[in-house]
Amino acid sequence: MTEPRGTNVRPAHFPDRAPIDAYGNGGFKFANMAHRGGLLCLPSGIHGWTAGTLEDCDDAAFQPVFDEAGSIEIFLFGTGRDLVPIGDTLRARFRAHAIMADPMGTGAAVRTYNVLLAEGRAVGAAFLPVE
């Protein structure tokens, strides 16, 4: 399918750090923008995240986090409406990169991310959307 003339389709990316202003209805609002689907918040910016469900959250889904591991001390994982623990293999991979991984429901993860970001902490996050 071709895009209408003048349309520039590119991977979702905001090249800075920003607090999350709202979440729900399958997406997030931040920096006067809205994104539908999951988000990956890294030192390099806020990226649309291909993982949309827990089943999508395999080792490869977190590779961008490990690529920026030197700039992340705390990683929050918003697992949707409810808290879902991180598996032992994935937790070990975070530990191997000296990152403390903390799963929690998406709402709690967003609120914690905003506080840590405001404090200037070396925080990263992945948020699964909630309806």
Q: What is the pLDDT of residues 1-28, one digit of tens each?
A: 444 555 444 466 888 999 999 999 999 9
Opening angle at CA 23, ends 63 and 111, nearest 5: 75
- CB environment 83-114: b (16+ within 10 A), e (fewer): eeebeeebeebbeebebebbbbbbeebbbbbb
**pLDDT band, residue 98 (cuts 50/70/90):** very high
DSSP 8-class letter at 72: -
pTM: 0.88
CATH number assigned to the domain with residue range 13-127, chosen from the 4 options 3.50.50.60, 3.40.1230.10, 3.40.710.10, 1.10.3720.10:
3.40.1230.10
Domain locations along the chain: 13-127
Q: Give residue for tokens 């690529």.
A: 67
Amino acid identity, residue 92? A
Q: What is the per-residue pLDDT for 9?
A: 44
